[in-house]
Structure 1
Amino acid sequence: MSDVAQAKIKSKIFIRGKMIVLTGLHIGGNSVGMSIGGADKVVVRNPLDNVPYVPGSSLRGKMRSLMERLRGHEDDPNNGGKGGFSWDERKKEAIAGKKGETQLGQLFGITAAHEEKGKLTATRLIVRDAMMTKETVEKLQNAPNTDMPMTEVKTEVFIDRITSGANPRQIERIPAGAEFTIEFILTLLQEDEKETFLDLIQEGLLLLEADALGGSGGRGYGQVKFLIEQIEEKTAQNYFNGDKATPITHKMTQLFSSELSKEAV
């Protein structure tokens, strides 16, 4: 494998679409300055317009975590993680995606904490922050039953197993039915196979749909659905010439194409 730092960019692939929230979503924000009577745990918001959004780091991090747990130790970068699940007891983490020659290492990159012999692997995948669609913002601003701007507050009660005392807490959630725009940018290097990395992104999205995004997933929060509406590629020559990106096909557009009811918002 050639040194990634020296490899030339072959193309960039843009994957765009929507993420639909199926059950209340909580991705925590800064609670400093919340007024009396507000939620104990608030969602992250854009400070300029106070609209909730989903950080790209949350999407990317959950995809990587699930893919590492699925694959375990990738002894062979081409075996799809069939070597079995491996766990680093000292670091309390899955042993996957920690080497630059593995598929996950190439897709997500290798940080200094996991570098091998002084070599780092730059990420090939950029995940943009997912912004709430204009239609969802307008619906939630006019919704009569929201508890906070564009969100709901869910009250939960923690029962002390010794004293049986009840300790209520209030958690702010983005309501089911909310939609967000998503964009993934895949950078392909000269040695890269396009289908390999597109299949990896597809794998991560499928895993995330079958799991949960954000906090309290085990209690029903954070079920999401992806709709992939457009995949385009812009080659190095396109950038040299100032040309537009060209649409390309991948099975993602069929797998993530179901139209869902939007009456929940």
Structure 2
Amino acid sequence: MFGVLKNRYVIQGNIVFKTPLHIGSGESGTRTDSLVVKYFNGEPYIPGSSFKGVLRGTLERIAPVLGLDSCLLYSGSECGKVIREEIEGNSDLKKMVENLPDGEEVYMKYLLEEARKNRGLCRTCRLFGSPYMASRIYFDDLQADNSVGNLRYEVRDGVGIDRDTGTAVEGVKYDYEVVPQGIKFSLRARMENAEDEDILLLAVGLRELTEGIRMGGMTSRGLGSCKIEGLEITEFLLETEEGKKKFWAYLATGKLPPGAIKGETFIKERILAAFPETGEKEAKPC
């Protein structure tokens, strides 16, 4: 499936936070119980894995509405569990796995492919990856823009709440660090060998980002509200001569070619291609 590069989509934009952001590092400091993730120079960033997880979770909920199958990770319906059950239920496959010599990775891939043929992977697992298939989309860490040189982090207080009485629990007080609102983080992602369903999922995910989502911790308390701005997608269709030439130029210069597709155009075109009956109609006067 991934042996030959057939297409590549480069996604770029800025994630702008309308409310403060907290993505915890798992560490405490002298000022606060929970520090945000930072580079060694003290600048905040959003791990690519965190952003990918938020986008994946968003699309897992929406995919069935689009007529696409989607499992839920770490649930009884996840694809990994289904494939393991397929191997367990197929005596021939199970015997092969049990007798597999160490280091026989190629043969193991064959066995997993046999299991996938019978039960398959859902669309979100095919796009974002699973223990049995590599991801088709990759996210760089999102770096803060250059205006954060003198950034002053905020520290917020929190208390434990008794859910029965709705009052604060005595002795359960903590605080946490947040990145102040208004900070921009640069987004760069790459999707390769995408099928029509992958492109539809990407377009819907980007639509959600343009409308606004929440990211990080403490989102139920108002943190992490963000949108994407300046969205552009560069498309390399490598099964056409024009697409190959554009890709060769990119490889030679290291620069993306001009003519990137504006985010709104890409989103509309891809969604309407999948659901042409939803084309924009002239609004009726009230």
TM-score (norm 2): 0.64
Say whether 1:125 aligns with 2:137. yes
Change (3 A) 1:224 1:87: closer
Matched residue SS, 2:33: coil
Q: CA deviation at 1:10?
A: 1.5
Change (3 A) 1:50 1:249: same
Corresponding residue of 1:262: none
Deviation by residue 1:66-100 (Cα, 9 ceiling, x = unmatched): 2113335x9xxx8334xxx8779xx5366479876
Change (3 A) 1:53 1:79: same
Sequence identity percentage: 25
Q: CA deviation at 1:170?
A: 0.8
Alignment RMSD, CA only? 3.3
Q: CA deviation at 1:255?
A: 6.8
Say whether 1:170 aligns with 2:175. yes
Any unmatched runs of 5+ in structure 2?
A: 83-115, 239-243, 269-286
Moved more, 95-104 or 197-206: 95-104
**1:60-209 alignment to 2 at 5 Å?**
60-71=52-63, 79-81=67-69, 91-92=74-75, 95=78, 102-111=122-131, 115=132, 121-135=133-147, 137-138=148-149, 141=150, 150-160=152-162, 164-165=169-170, 167-188=172-193, 192-193=195-196, 196-207=197-208
Tell me, in whole angstroms, the C-alpha distance in 2 between the residues paired with 1:64 and 1:55: 14
Match of 2:33 among 36, 40, 44: 40
Say whether 1:57 aligns with 2:53. no
Mapped contact 1:13–1:233 kept (Cα < 8 A): yes
Mapped contact 1:202–1:252 kept (Cα < 8 A): no
Deviation by residue 1:4-30 (Cα, 9 ceiling, x = unmatched): 144x10132211110001111110114
Mapped contact 1:234–1:245 kept (Cα < 8 A): no
Corresponding residue of 1:17: 13
Q: CA deviation at 1:175?
A: 0.8
Mapped contact 1:159–1:166 kept (Cα < 8 A): no
Change (3 A) 1:202 1:166: farther
Tell me, in whole angstroms, the C-alpha distance in 2 between the residues paired with 1:159 and 1:197: 42
Residues matched between the structures, number:
217
Matched residue SS, 1:71: helix
Corresponding residue of 2:101: none
Change (3 A) 1:184 1:30: same
Matched residue SS, 1:154: strand
Corresponding residue of 1:144: none
Matched residue SS, 1:57: helix
Q: CA deviation at 1:153?
A: 0.7
Larger-Rg structure: 2
Corresponding residue of 2:235: 233
Q: CA deviation at 1:217?
A: 1.1
Matched residue SS, 1:165: strand
